[in-house]
């Protein structure tokens, strides 16, 4: 027997999306029915009629005084939400509102359900997303299928615990995913369709934001599991120092300063990783107390 989906709210961060929002809101209401508590649209100081269009369509609007970023809008929506389950989705029309209920229906057994897109192509964006997913999978030890998806259902109380970690920019999905996985929260990926934007153009710069995504992954990895970052670097220095020592010993029968430097550096980095691991555990314990 199929379990009934719980009540939920939908949070939509929006910037200059007055053309797409009315249709999206109407479709969400049709799909959600009585299970949908409300739709919160966070208007990030749009220059068009985003706020008015959302209000006219029946959404509750939170207006920002100036542009703060996609992640800041998500944080504002989380602070406003009251339901146990909240769904994040983009306002540009790329997500199918019919997928919302599919995600919510899985929340009985999971803390987060992510709408996973298909990256089967060979475009720069698809290749970049594949790389991010592989990197995140290594960091977390969990097969991450879509690190940057903006369509996801989460338990509000769990998400609020990490609100201080979420960046104000476009990479909040990355941070939230890694934070949930590194603290042992259950995540499920559900395949969803993703459409081409109906209006405007993407606000994400593949080059600049791609570097930012990598830095965020490294930051969160260092925050929750430092040895995943420190250990490979330590091993690299140790292997380099060992190879260089063997070369100089066999060729010149002597131990060079560079060999000592590389080997010592590897030990120092490893010890810093151990200390950071202890600090990370203390931080994690403090987060769970909230």
What pLDDT score does 1 carry?
A: 36
What pLDDT score does 129 carry?
A: 76
Name the percent of the chain lying above pLDDT 90.
48
* Spatial distance between the Cα atoms of 18 and 43, rounded to a whole number of angstroms: 10
What pLDDT score does 197 carry?
A: 47
Please calculate the CA angle 141-147-149 and round it to the nearest 5 degrees.
Answer: 150
Range 273-281 average pLDDT: 87
CB 15 within 8 A of CB 203: yes
Contacts of 244 (CB under 8 A, 6+ apart): 256, 258, 259, 262
43: left (phi over 0), alpha (psi -120 to 50) or beta: beta
Range 214-236 average pLDDT: 84
Sign, CA torsion 71/280/84/141: positive
For residue 43, which phi and psi values (nearest 5 degrees)?
-85, 115
What pLDDT score does 2 carry?
A: 46
Residue identified by tokens 């081409």 is 196
- What would the two tokens of residue 48 be? 């068009």
State pTM to two decimals.
Answer: 0.81
Does residue 28 have a pLDDT over 90? yes
* Spatial distance between the Cα atoms of 154 and 177, rounded to a whole number of angstroms: 10
What pLDDT score does 280 carry?
A: 80
Does residue 198 have a pLDDT over 60? no
CB 194 within 8 A of CB 148: no
């Amino acid at each position: 027997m199929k379990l009934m989906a719980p009540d939920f709210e939908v949070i939509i961060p929006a910037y200059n999306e007055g053309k797409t929002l009315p249709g999206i809101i109407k479709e969400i209401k049709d799909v959600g029915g009585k299970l949908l508590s409300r739709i919160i649209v966070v208007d990030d100081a749009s220059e068009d009629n985003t706020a008015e269009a959302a209000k006219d369509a029946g959404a509750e609007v939170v207006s920002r005084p100036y542009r703060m970023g996609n992640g800041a809008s998500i944080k504002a929506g989380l602070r406003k939400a009251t339901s146990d389950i909240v769904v994040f989705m983009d306002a540009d029309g790329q997500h199918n509102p019919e997928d919302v209920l599919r995600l919510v229906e899985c929340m009985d057994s999971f803390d987060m359900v992510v709408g996973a897109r298909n990256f089967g192509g060979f475009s720069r964006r698809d290749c970049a997303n594949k790389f991010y997913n592989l990197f995140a999978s290594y960091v977390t030890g969990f097969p991450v299928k879509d690190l940057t998806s903006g369509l996801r259902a989460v338990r509000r109380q769990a998400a609020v615990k990490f609100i201080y970690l979420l960046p104000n920019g476009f990479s909040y999905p990355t941070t939230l995913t890694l934070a949930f996985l590194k603290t042992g929260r259950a995540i499920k990926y559900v395949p969803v369709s993703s459409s081409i934007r109906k209006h405007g153009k993407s606000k994400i710069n593949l080059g600049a934001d791609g570097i930012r995504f990598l830095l965020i992954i490294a930051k969160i990895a260092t925050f929750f599991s430092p040895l995943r970052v420190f250990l490979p670097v330590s091993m690299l220095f140790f292997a380099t120092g060992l190879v260089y020592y063997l070369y100089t010993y066999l060729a010149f029968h002597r131990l060079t300063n560079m060999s000592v430097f590389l080997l010592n550096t590897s030990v120092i980095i490893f010890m810093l990783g151990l200390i950071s691991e202890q600090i990370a555990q203390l931080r994690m314990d403090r987060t769970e107390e909230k």
